[in-house]
Structure 1
Amino acid sequence: MEQVEKIWTEHYPKEVPKSLKYEEKTMQEFLKETASKMPEKKALHFLGKEMTFDELYEQALKFANFLKEKGFKKGDTASIMLPNCPQSVIGYFGVFLAGGVVVQTNPLYMERELEHQLVDSSATFILCLDLLYPKVMNVKGKTKIEHIIVTSIKDYLPFPKNLIYPYIQKKQHGIVVTIEEDSNTHKLKSILKNYEAHELSIEVSPDEIALLQYTGGTTGLSKGVMLTHNNLTSVTTMCHHWLYKNNDKENIVLGILPFFHVYGLSTVLNFSALYGAKMILLPKFDAGDALKAIDKHKPTVFPGAPTIFIALLNHPKIKDYDLTSIQACISGSAPLPLEVQEQFEKVSGGRLVEGYGLTETSAVALANTVWEKRKLGSIGIPFPDTDGIIFSMETGEPAKVNEIGEIAIKGPQVTQGYWNRPEENEASFKDGWFLTGDLGYVDEEGFFYIVDRKKDMIIAGGYNIYPREIEEVLYENSKILEAVAAGVPDAYRGETVKAYIVLKEGEECTEEELDAFCRKHLAAYKVPRIYEFRDELPKTAVGKILRRALVDEEKEKQKKVN
């Protein structure tokens, strides 16, 4: 039986159209419209302090006016290096209102990672947390950064938390950073105090680039995925219709997923701007804090990852909190275990379904229906106006039903391509289809399944990690002769990073030494959790290290243990 075109639409709820109507507007136009329609509606809640959509739009305009005065032009790129907080939302829309392109930057990045992203994106402005200011200054001279805008978590804390925070910061991080303003260093607090919220007449087309969202590269260097305003608004429109039972309700979205990850950006921040939902922002994930937030603020929509749901279920005091406000959860970034799905639905009374997407698809492309048919182990069916196909690994043609091949996607949420990467673009697209690099199959009813990854990417705790990047760091250690990194099964993170090491003759090294070495050069989530020292590594006849053989070896060990 041949794969049938769009057979999956038979499983759409009657409330979800097969094709949607998309408004030709930019992200900033949607925010302006929302602020105009519901100015007093709460846009966000952050650790006790709230902000209306009118206030958010006004502060974003002030930031945009600052950018323009400092020479920021339409099409320029600006980096935002913040956790989930009001400033990250203000900066995001401020850059859009100034006609610019946002570069979301992970606050966990080490200097070498930060330098690469800033250089590659040609960012001229960066908005960062005060704790990250020294790191930014250390790489500034190697980049095109002209202006650094600094903010502190305490700037948006209510009294008396704002007075207490510096002491907490010093206790947690050992430092309190003092910022001296000059012609190139600015405090966001001063900008919002001194600039007017003038409307700017900068025309931006919805098909222009809005976001450079960096993802790992198979070569070890991250690459910028170009996402347009249309990409971002179309996927948000799809999510809105998929959650059709919530359309006429007061939606409150739990913002645990970080905005520097496209999943959190699309399902929390952009969703809020387009549909006037209130965001509950948490700057970092802590299971206890998350449970308190759910109990107190009653979110209705909860985008998350399996590790988040697992941590909440395993919290010793989960029974002390009321989670019944939650109506819909879409889990992404890693496979969702059945027992996690069933347990979380039991304690919340809501629905938790698995979805699938990539940075290149603006976060989501497929998902199980929330209130209708779903299949265990399946990543679901394509969203409205989204096509999915399996290309045979043998013939390169469309595969038959249940035949394993490479998953490819086509739809209005799919990227235009990679920033300054013509070779990558050539390899990643085929006749208009984006090749995901994931291997899977589609069944007789049009439900898709993932079985493996064509690329060597590791997904640990929802983060995409590329082995080559870790290996390059390990090879900088003078004691190491050979090194390979691989993802191995982990009950909590889905996968975790393991490094296999061959030392040079006569050298000695411990796991502790390598851990300390890696932490100097890699974000914490990329650092190997396990090290194994070997006399030699498996190789092909031409000397290429067989990473897959090591992964298979680990799987066999797991089988014996279980």
Structure 2
Amino acid sequence: MTFNWILEAPPDKDRVAFSFDTRVRMTYGELDVRTRQYARALGELGLRKGDRLGLMLFNDAEYVPLFLAAARLGVITVRLNFRLAPAELAFILADSGTSVVIVHGSLADRVAPVRHKAGVGTYVVLPDTDDPVPEWASPFDVLRGREPLADLPELGEQDPMSLLYTSGTTGSPKGAVWTHRNTVAVATAQALRWQFSEDTVALVPGPIYHAGGFEAVVAPALLMHGRGVFLPSGNFTVDRLLEVLRTEQVTDCLLFPFMLNELLHRQDLEERLPTSLRRLILGGDTLMPSTAEEVKRRLPGVKLTQVYGLTEGGAIATTLEDADFLAQPKSIGRPLPLAEARVVTPLGEPAAVGEVGEIEVRGPAVSQGYWNRPDATRTTFHEGWCRTGDLGYVNADGFLHLAGRAKDMIRSGGENIYPAEVEKVLATHPQVLEAAVVAVPDTRYTEVGCAVVVTEADQAVDADALRAFCRERLAGYKVPKYFVFADELPRNASGKILKFRLRETHAAIESEVDREKTTT
């Protein structure tokens, strides 16, 4: 079974499949026709089964039809983060062997400097304004007005559906291969856990390029022939969220912790939330117990769920359900149906109850490996298990808890940031001798990056210059919020940088900066 089943066997073609920002609604019947039209057009651009199609788009009404059209054609979609810097974009396009890219008009300037380096044969621009399409690209009209493709290729569950690139712990992004089987499996597991049905209306406010923007929450809704709801990219506001929740009569909503915190600041929240809402699903870092208590006090009819997972590990591996929030504070719960999770010692042996080790997950939703990265695949995936790089332990009640991050990953506003990637960029600055990037607390985004920099003794550089340097080479969300300078970095006897010391030293940097602003 492939994920294309959702369009091949809908019980009612007039049922709404997805809506975008309350402005566009598309039924299953309309989505079937649109995806077949786009499948024909993509084929006319030369794409065949196994080829790669890049989508560098904001959340848009055309995103899901294009993605599913590629899936029906057997084309592998490379869902590109629209925040990528040109150099990052060029690397991913070349690494994946993408031959056609559909790009939003406002992002064309980001593509232009690297288009010759990426090896892409065709660019198609989705219009943003009346500005002319660049001479090196084709207008989006080349995809419109085609006859629906009747003879779709035969596909199997092991055929790849997506390449989802994750930031690299060693500085190079890696494409996790997502097959139809992976997508169906994680969608089935979520639908079983949360009892999704045709009446489910699931909203995701984050970017569709993210596993948390499609595979989480929306994919299971579509699998059950319910409805997915998307918001436009950027400029998230609680007012707009509340408006869409009510207009679309959303039943299940995925949020990141900073979004929930902003929601709880609304004094009129109880009056504005629709009675249809039955569940809030939290991605990213675990909630503070006080936040969970406030949700239960103010919204007693709404269930709360915390999810944990990673792109390679099937997007969602474990969940902490509503009934366990207060009894198991800060836990990340238990595995989804069809999934397994365990904690192992450095020797690869099962850890004892309460013993900290590395979390591993396995199941049919786990990626089959990295695109063209056999060494990295062998390192991360072994005997069916996926090494998460996160440290954790299982308590006596069988609940999984996070204890730290083996890879020092920063989770900021729903995005994963790998310090090694940022440090690699900082190391290329002529005035930087060495740098270490660590996570520090942030009121809005839970965590942000703080770069501790050692410069050449006879050369000076300021934070603004380093920030600008990083912005030219990294997606904006990866650029550290804070830059501090030191004479040296703390190290142990083996010369390894003691990042925990840096985290402790700069944990209060947000309040220190706020005090400086107040006094000046």
> Please, what TM-score do these two structures have when normalized by structure 2?
0.92
- State whether residues 467 and 484 of structure 1, in contact with CA within 8 Å, keep that contact through their aligned partners in structure 2: yes
Task: Give the aligned residue type for 1:300.
Answer: T
Aligned mate of 2:161, from 198, 210, 226: 210
Task: Give the aligned residue type for 1:71.
Answer: G
- State whether residues 31 and 274 of structure 1, in contact with CA within 8 Å, keep that contact through their aligned partners in structure 2: no
Quote the offset at 1:315 in angstroms: 4.6
1:150 aligns with 125
Where in structure 2 are the equivalents of 1:375-386 lying within 5 Å? Answer: 375-386=328-339
2:210 aligns with 261
Quote the offset at 1:371 in angstroms: 5.2
Asked if residue 179 in structure 1 is aligned to residue 133 in structure 2, the reply is: yes
* Whole-angstrom distance in 1 between the partners of 2:231 and 2:498: 41
Quote the offset at 1:317 in angstroms: 6.0
2:5 aligns with 29
Alignment partner of 1:118: what SS?
helix
- State whether residues 97 and 200 of structure 1, in contact with CA within 8 Å, keep that contact through their aligned partners in structure 2: no
Q: For this pair of structures, how many residues does the alignment match?
A: 508
1:490 aligns with 442
Pair 445,541 (structure 1): closer, same or farther in 2 beyond 3 Å: closer
* Whole-angstrom distance in 1 between the partners of 2:112 and 2:29: 34
CA-to-aligned-CA distance 1:53-98 (integer Å, 9 cap, x gap): 2112211111110111222111011111112222110110111122
Aligned mate of 2:361, from 378, 397, 409: 409
Quote the offset at 1:307 in angstroms: 1.7
Where in structure 2 are the equivalents of 1:353-372 lying within 5 Å? Answer: 353-370=305-322
- State whether residues 243 and 370 of structure 1, in contact with CA within 8 Å, keep that contact through their aligned partners in structure 2: no
- State whether residues 65 and 200 of structure 1, in contact with CA within 8 Å, keep that contact through their aligned partners in structure 2: no
1:100 aligns with 75
2:423 aligns with 471
RMSD across aligned positions (CA): 2.4
> Please, what TM-score do these two structures have when normalized by structure 1?
0.85
Which is further off, 489-498 or 341-350? 341-350
2:184 aligns with 233
Quote the offset at 1:490 in angstroms: 2.2
The percent identity for this pair of structures is 31
Pick the structure with more helix per residue: 1
2:237 aligns with 286
Aligned mate of 2:107, from 111, 132, 136: 132
Asked if residue 222 in structure 1 is aligned to residue 173 in structure 2, the reply is: yes
Asked if residue 505 in structure 1 is aligned to residue 471 in structure 2, the reply is: no
Task: Give the aligned residue type for 1:84.
Answer: N
Aligned mate of 2:414, from 459, 462, 486: 462
For structure 2, the 5+ residue unaligned runs are 515-520
2:518 aligns with none
* Whole-angstrom distance in 1 between the partners of 2:496 and 2:397: 41
Aligned mate of 1:250, from 170, 193, 199: 199
Task: Give the aligned residue type for 2:363.
Answer: G
CA-to-aligned-CA distance 1:381-429 (integer Å, 9 cap, x gap): 0112222111123x43111111111111111111111111111122113
* Whole-angstrom distance in 2 between the partners of 1:484 and 1:522: 16
Alignment partner of 2:332: what SS?
coil
* Whole-angstrom distance in 2 between the partners of 1:403 and 1:371: 25
Asked if residue 481 in structure 1 is aligned to residue 433 in structure 2, the reply is: yes
- State whether residues 222 and 228 of structure 2, in contact with CA within 8 Å, keep that contact through their aligned partners in structure 1: no
Pair 273,200 (structure 1): closer, same or farther in 2 beyond 3 Å: farther
Pair 345,112 (structure 1): closer, same or farther in 2 beyond 3 Å: farther
- State whether residues 218 and 227 of structure 2, in contact with CA within 8 Å, keep that contact through their aligned partners in structure 1: no
Pair 410,204 (structure 1): closer, same or farther in 2 beyond 3 Å: same
CA-to-aligned-CA distance 1:423-452 (integer Å, 9 cap, x gap): 112211333221111111112221100110
Alignment partner of 1:398: what SS?
coil
Pair 398,73 (structure 1): closer, same or farther in 2 beyond 3 Å: same
* Whole-angstrom distance in 1 between the partners of 2:127 and 2:223: 27
Quote the offset at 1:555 in angstroms: 4.8
Quote the offset at 1:500 in angstroms: 0.7
For structure 1, the 5+ residue unaligned runs are 1-24, 154-165, 167-175
Alignment partner of 1:302: what SS?
strand
Task: Give the aligned residue type for 1:392.
Answer: T
- State whether residues 406 and 439 of structure 1, in contact with CA within 8 Å, keep that contact through their aligned partners in structure 2: yes
